[in-house]
């Protein structure tokens, strides 16, 4: 089983970016945590991060026929990108939307998620643990 973990804009800045919201751990810390859990579950993971919407669309399209599930934190594109929604719909790969913070408790515009309607699950507000919840969910549901 292969799970693609996609992260959108500014997630490469974890640890520096608004640590009161996103914590002080880095993007490298996040990847290590996910990789360790994937090893424990016997699941292969691939990681990709981009600040560019089209690159994320390309990554989703490139996953077609190659991966079993996707975990995506689209960052700010959550609230703006119909292109990411359409890409997930097009490939029909079970996808879990993850957010480190809970967007519903923040700015009004952050309560809108375009990609959510194409996802099998949304995990929000659990910090880095949310990625592990998503990974366990996909590992179990895709058995």
Angle at which helices 129-141 and 27-41 pack, to 10 degrees? 30
Task: Tell how far CA 128 is from the center of its chain.
Answer: 11
Q: Residue 2, SS3?
A: strand
Residue 99 among the catalytic residues: yes
> What is the number of residues in the chain?
143
Report the candidate in 49, 119, 48 with the shortest Cα–Cα distance to residue 85.
119
Evaluate whether 51 touches 81 at the Cβ level (below 8 Å).
no
Residue 52 among the catalytic residues: no
> From the candidates 27, 48, 52, 99, which is the catalytic residue?
99
> From the candidates 22, 27, 114, 131, which is the catalytic residue?
22
- In degrees, to the nearest 5, what angle opens at C-alpha 130 toward C-alphas 124 and 134? 105
Q: Which residues are catalytic?
A: 22, 99
């Amino acid at each position: 089983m292969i799970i693609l973990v996609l992260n959108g804009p500014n997630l490469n800045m974890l640890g520096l970016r608004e640590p009161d919201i996103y914590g002080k751990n880095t993007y490298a810390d996040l990847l290590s945590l996910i990789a360790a859990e994937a090893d424990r579950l016997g699941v292969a993971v691939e990681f990709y991060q981009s600040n560019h919407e089209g690159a994320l669309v390309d990554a989703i399209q490139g996953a077609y026929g190659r991966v079993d599930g996707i975990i995506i934190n689209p960052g700010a594109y959550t609230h703006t990108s119909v292109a990411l929604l359409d890409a997930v719909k097009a490939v029909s790969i079970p996808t879990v939307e993850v957010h480190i913070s809970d967007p519903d408790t923040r700015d009004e515009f952050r309560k809108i998620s375009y990609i959510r309607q194409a996802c099998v699950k949304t995990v929000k507000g659990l910090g880095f643990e949310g990625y592990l919840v998503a990974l366990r969910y996909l590992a179990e549901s895709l058995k």
